[in-house]
Structure 1
């Protein structure tokens, strides 16, 4: 599994959304958002795109992958 740093929490807070609200908007469970924020879950490209669109951000701003 590729390691990454997640900026989802910061963007979610700026958007004034809870984990539950973001999860509902992108069609996943709240636990999935929590795991994404903690770098414990690799999202599909579609999910990453949906989160970025919902948070008005670029995918590369939300997920910083480490080599």
Structure 2
């Protein structure tokens, strides 16, 4: 791919709650990890570098509230 095209590229991700497409930098990323008790739960990945499947949530308070009930990460 041409270098000029790659310089201006902004990754886009979709909020799993409201389905809004936003630049990746404007979303919070959650990754599922296994706790010491064996339970799997989502954890905020502030640096967006943790391994595993990421779930992106927009910064709206409604989406943050609804994410607590979101079960899509259990698949």
TM norm. shorter chain > 0.5: no
Higher radius of gyration, 1 or 2? 2
TM-score, normalised via structure 1 length: 0.30
More relative contact order, 1 or 2 (CA 8 Å, 6+ apart): 1
TM-score, normalised via structure 2 length: 0.28
